[in-house]
Amino acid sequence: MSDHWITFDCFGTLVDWHTGFANAVGPYAGARTAELLSAYHEFEAPLEAERPHRLYRDVLTTGLLRAAQKIGLPFSEAQARKLPETWDALPIFADVEPMLSNLRAGGWKLAVLTNCDEDLFAQTQRNFRQPFDLVITAERVRDYKPSASHFRYFSRTTGVNHANWVHVACSWFHDIAPARELGIKRIWLDRDHTPDAASAATAHIPSADQVIETVERIMA
């Protein structure tokens, strides 16, 4: 199965981005941390769409400052930088390493398609037990999902047959929708229990514990 690939989104899918966010900014935002996170999401995608390309480190810092301003929360640039500066502390979901281990044992090659910078993901990579076979960052493709750039770069780099490729992600907007447009088999690991249409995914599951059996089923 050396030509069989599973690609993953990372932050929100393999790594608990929301908990990492709360741990980094909670000491400054206090009881308004959830409100700040909600406001941040309003600014992230527009910042990522700007040209020339912004590094994700800058997206995080600028997005936090704009979100804090919107909700009237005093917040300094030094405080906003705490999120990228403590990136290596973002926790991996408990169900992830058993899943990755079993997929590797089954002969799958594993890759990450991430809206992240090279240096930030290098910090994250050290928290996993084993390295991924391939990592494609937003910094490398100079673009952010939901653009198809990550997927197309991965396809060109590996020469993968789409019949032998499954993408797994939590975000309907960033990953499931573009994978559908490209005709890639896709497992929506819906950790956030969002209301988007599950029919957009090849399979819809709530936990990484179900990824292996789901992969086997849709590849049968």
Structure token pair of residue 106: 């089954």
More confident residue, 160 or 195: 160
- Which of 87, 118, 137 is the endpoint of a domain? 87
My answer on whether 151 and 55 are in the same domain is no
Bridge partners (DSSP) of residue 92 are 15
Residue with tokens 């912004």: 54
Same domain? For 180 and 105 the reply is yes
Instruction: Give, as one character, the DSSP assignment of residue 92.
Output: B
Q: Are residues 209 and 110 in the same domain?
A: yes
Instruction: Report whether 212 contacts 103 (CB < 8 A).
Output: yes
pTM for the whole structure: 0.95
**Spatial CB neighbours of 133, under 8 Å, sequence gap ≥ 6:** 5, 109, 110, 111
Domain end, chosen from 34, 67, 87, is at: 87
DSSP 9-78: --BTTTB-HHHHHHHHHHHHHGGGHHHHHHHHHHHHHHHHH-SSPPPHHHHHHHHHHHHHHHHT----HH
Whole-number pLDDT of residue 199: 86
The stretch 56-71 carries a mean pLDDT of 97
Check residue 77 and give its pLDDT: 95
Q: Which domain holds residue 62?
A: 17-87
Mark whether 203 and 105 lie in a shared domain.
yes
- Within this chain, do residues 140 and 108 fall inside the same structural domain, yes or no? yes
Q: What CATH number did the domain enclosing 28 receive?
A: 1.10.150.750
Q: What's the number of domains the chain is made of?
A: 2
On average, the pLDDT of the chain sits at 95
Give the end of a domain, one of 87, 110, 126. 87
Are 34 and 143 within one domain?
Answer: no
Which pLDDT score, from 0 to 100, does residue 198 have?
80
pLDDT (0 to 100) of residue 1: 45
